[in-house]
Structure 1
Amino acid sequence: MSLSPLLNASLVIQIHTFLAIAAVILTITIFILPRGSTAHRWMGWTWVTLMAIVALSSFGIHGIGLIGPFGPIHILSVFVLFQLVMNVRAARTRNIRGHARGMKLLTLGALVGAGAFTFLPGRIMYQVVAGG
């Protein structure tokens, strides 16, 4: 394992990666907390902020361009931003079931699913884990 590929990457990739990792760690904590508690709400808002920055920062990362500089990850980023709004709205309107379901699906798709692709050969996180 070597952090040098990540530390040698552009600042936007470093911000994107470190905030995504922070969101993963925060996700675990949020899932452990009692639902609806003050800590759950504060950590939830922090998570939403982290995920919004992660999604927005992806627009500064260009690797697979299908439409100009934009690729599949950018479609996912638009979806994430939309889902963040919808899932926060669900919580604020007391649609707790919809909020919980939406946040779980967002976690699986945006953090776990998209995160798994970062470990494919040739990607920076693959290089980090494989040792450069």
Structure 2
Amino acid sequence: MQLTPVIAIHLAAALAATAIGPVALWARKGRSQRPRLHRAAGYAWVTLMVATAVSAIFISGGSGPRWGSFGLIHLLIPLTLSMLVVSFVFLARRNIVGHRQTMQYIYIGACLVAGGFTLLPDRLLGRSLWTALGGI
């Protein structure tokens, strides 16, 4: 698989979301809360996550079980989008704990865990990284 414009958009949005996520999470912790920073970083992060999920629709899955051009990894698309909606429902109902936990789960699951799997040697990003490091 080569770096197409859709994959480039997906990769850029995912990397930016992974980088900005901790800012949104950190801005509401501790004694000195920063609500403006939290809100700005949070909306940016949500926008990047939506861009990541929507762009993934146009990327065909790798090997393994498939349904048309979709692989198992594509199950993360509706999961991510629905969890984002759930987090805003929590926020609208003033359930801050539910909102916080949902956003933390999305960040850990979608950015860190799923992102970590992209570093496997048989994936585009992983192959590029390991080749650049002179490895596998």
TM-score normalised by structure 2 residue count: 0.85
Work out the percentage of aligned pairs sharing the same amino acid.
Answer: 34
For residues 7-45 of structure 1, what are the alpha-carbon distances to aligned partners after superposition, in whole Å with 9 as ceiling and x for unaligned?
A: x51011011011111001101211221357022112111
Runs of 4+ with deviation above 6 angstroms: none
Which residue number corresponds to residue 9 of structure 1? 3
Q: Please tell me whether the aligned partners of residues 10 and 51 of structure 2 are also in contact (alpha carbons under 8 angstroms).
A: yes
* Structure 1: gaps spanning 5 or more residues: none
Q: Which has the higher contact order (CA 8 A, sep 6+)?
A: 1
Q: 2: distance between equivalents of 1:102 and 1:123?
A: 28
Q: TM-score normalised to the size of structure 1?
A: 0.87
Given candidates 48, 51, 60, the residue that maps to 1:50 is 48
| Alignment gaps of 5+ in structure 2 | none
Tell me how large the CA RMSD over aligned residues is.
1.7
Contact 2:61 2:72 in 1 (8 A): no
Residues 87 and 99, structure 2, Cα contact 8 Å, conserved in 1: yes
**Aligned to 2:35, which of 22, 34, 37?**
37
Count of residue pairs brought into register by the alignment = 126
Q: CA deviation at 1:110?
A: 0.8
